[in-house]
Amino acid sequence: MSFSFSQGYKQLPTVDKDAGEQESLRRKGPRKSIFPLLRLTFAVIIIMCVSVPCVRMIRSRGFWATCHGAQRNSSTLAKLPSHYTLPSGDSIPSVALGVWQASKGEVGNAVKTALSAGYRHIDGAWIYRNEEEVGQAIKASSIPREELWLTSKLWNNFHAPEDIETALDQSLSMLGTDYLDLYLIHWPVAFKKEGNNVIDEDLTADPYPTWQKLEELVDKGKIRNIGISNFNIRRIQNLTANKLKYQPAVNQVELNFWNPQPELLKWSKENGLLLEAYSPLGSDKQVGKSLSVPEVKDIACKLGITPAQVIISWSVQRGTIVLPKSVTPSRIVENLEVFKIPQEDFEMLEQAAASHPPQRVVNPSSGWKLPFDVFDGQ
């Protein structure tokens, strides 16, 4: 079954961002022969002390490869779209700071670094347990609220109609704002309580009541856009089979080199639904592996950018919003810089990503002891 949304998202043009010698060292023999040697020794020691951490950092980012031939200067590369236009007409930044797994005491500094570097899109969720610190960092930045894009998500416990607005209000309060730019159904799963027992319910059967309540909150002005997360094609179709007042703005899913999901991407483009890519560099255990992919390293060498920038750029060039997460300042800054990859290199990377069996890392079905698979094998 296929359908078309009444109005799809569009890419927007890129917005460019723009000591003296120590007497105690005297020895017998000509002075001119000893001090050059000492200076050379000290220089070697200093270079080693400085270079070893740098080499470790470069290796950790996967940029340890021999580059043959002239490299292009990244400043000469074309930029990719900095925003997409949603069906509502709102412009959403194409790269966001993801704060999943960013711990307390770290996430605030990460957000401050990101905002200072030029990020204007922060992707969070109630279940991340760090929205209060994120809100404090946003307040400290003094960036006007209208210049920011804030996303949160409705957790599985709060699908009862009477709980949805309360859950949203908690996130609004912690973030220090009176509205969200985007609010997502976090998973197509609802946790219901009967007595002391928790019942896991598949929302596929009837996701509409939750969606209707979210539409009411849009009308109240508490949310500007609503969407979904971790929905496969069948679940999207089950939702949109209803007469919706507001179509889903985005679908946020695990999307990376190891799990490229070309079918979902193609279907979503054909039906005007924008995908957001979480874990774009792979899960924590996959990042090093991702940055060491031969095709990724070859493109990085050719273009004079880092492997991480290659992967994030590839994701934006596929037409998705990308949500890289980090608490390391240098990586946060690096991840925001995306460049257009030459078409032949883009196609090479696309083929490489599709050449292996998909490796989905995030699937809580077993951990939650669900009687169904959240992804139905997709």
Amino acid identity at 91 = S
Question: Contact at 8 Å (CB) between 332 and 97?
Answer: yes
Model confidence at 2, pLDDT cuts 50, 70, 90, reads very low
Q: Looking at the chain, which runs of residues are DSSP E strands? A: 10-11, 83-85, 91-93, 97-98, 121-123, 149-154, 182-185, 189-194, 197-202, 226-229, 250-254, 274-278, 321-323
- In CATH terms, the fold of domain 87-293+321-328 is TIM Barrel (3.20.20)
- Is the pLDDT at 198 greater than 60? The verdict is no
- Is the pLDDT at 201 greater than 70? The verdict is no
What's the average model confidence in pLDDT over 293-322?
97
Question: What does the pLDDT look like over 291-302, one tens digit per residue?
Answer: 999 999 999 999
For 60, counting Cβ atoms within 10 Å of its Cβ (0-12 exposed, 13-18 middle, 19+ buried), the class is middle
Question: Contact at 8 Å (CB) between 282 and 256?
Answer: yes
Question: What does the pLDDT look like over 20-51, one tens digit per residue?
Answer: 333 333 333 444 445 555 566 555 555 554 45
Question: What does the pLDDT look like over 64-74, one tens digit per residue?
Answer: 445 654 455 66
**Where along the chain do its domains lie?**
87-293+321-328
Q: What is the pTM of this model?
A: 0.82
Question: What does the pLDDT look like over 108-123, one tens digit per residue?
Answer: 999 999 999 999 999 9
Give percent of the chain with pLDDT exceeding 90.
Answer: 69
Least confident of 22-26, 194-198, 220-224, 274-278: 22-26
- HSE (CB half, 13 Å, CA atoms) of 316? 30
What's the average model confidence in pLDDT over 241-256?
96
Give percent of the chain with pLDDT exceeding 70.
Answer: 76
At 207 the pLDDT is 82
At 229 the pLDDT is 97
At 26 the pLDDT is 35
The residues annotated as belonging to the active site are 128
Question: What does the pLDDT look like over 328-374, one tens digit per residue?
Answer: 999 999 999 999 999 999 999 999 999 999 999 999 999 988 888 99
More confident residue, 117 or 104: 117
Question: Contact at 8 Å (CB) between 249 and 86?
Answer: yes
At 376 the pLDDT is 83
**β-bridge partners, 183:** 152, 226
